[in-house]
Amino acid sequence: MQITTTINNKPVTLTVTPDEMLADALRTQGYLSVKKGCDTSCCGLCTVWLDGKPTLSCNVLAFRAEGKQITTIEGVQQQATEFANVLVAEGAEQCGFCSPGFIMTVLAMKNELKNPSEQDIIHYLTGNLCRCTGYMGQLRAIKKYLGVA
């Protein structure tokens, strides 16, 4: 089946199967930042934005993106790099495999929450697993990036 959607502000028509997940469709289209880490919708690696909201692309059937705005980290490179600079200054990207999904969630949080507390930040990002860093460095980076005390 064909769907019409927008990826990173570019209108596209995609041919997908009814059971194809958005994460796979995006990788096929060359958006290789989209990583898959779990198969059971609970690691956060594949997070992209659907109409601006952080969403597990591995758990969204691709046809449901019809008419929606999809944003991957390839589409927000400038913002992503701004935050990534803070993140790597902390050494908190480590293996980096969870970083694209993590950064997409951080940027979504920045757009959604005003003056988040440390607890708000932790809550918002709980769905982004990371096995390398132990999360503390990521938290330091976010607080620096958002100017949270």
Q: Would you state the structure tokens that stand for residue 25, as one six-digit string?
A: 């469709």
| Nearest CB to other proteins, comparing residues 7 and 92 | 92
Query: Interface with other proteins includes 37 (CB under 8 A)?
Result: yes
| Nearest CB to other proteins, comparing residues 119 and 147 | 119
Minimum gap (Å) between residue 118 Cβ and other proteins: 10
Count residues binding other proteins (CB under 8 A): 73
If you count them, how many residues does the chain have? 149
Query: Interface with other proteins includes 145 (CB under 8 A)?
Result: no
* 3-class SS of residue 13: strand
Instruction: Give the amino acid at 98.
Output: C
DSSP sequence for 107-128:
HHHHHH-SS--HHHHHHHTTT-
Query: Interface with other proteins includes 5 (CB under 8 A)?
Result: no
Minimum gap (Å) between residue 74 Cβ and other proteins: 6
Mark residues 80-119: x for contact with other proteins by CB under 8 A, - for none: xx--xx-xxxxxxxxxxxxxxx-x-x--x-----------
Mark residues 40-79: x for contact with other proteins by CB under 8 A, - for none: xxxxxx-x--x--xxxx-xxxx-xx-------xxx--x--
Minimum gap (Å) between residue 91 Cβ and other proteins: 4
First to last CA, the chain: 50
Helices 99-112, 136-146: inter-axial angle, 10-degree rounding: 40
Task: Decide: 113 and 120 in contact? Cβ < 8 Å.
Answer: yes
Which whole-number Å values give the CA distances from 38 to 10, 35, 58, in the listed order?
29, 10, 9
Minimum gap (Å) between residue 143 Cβ and other proteins: 13
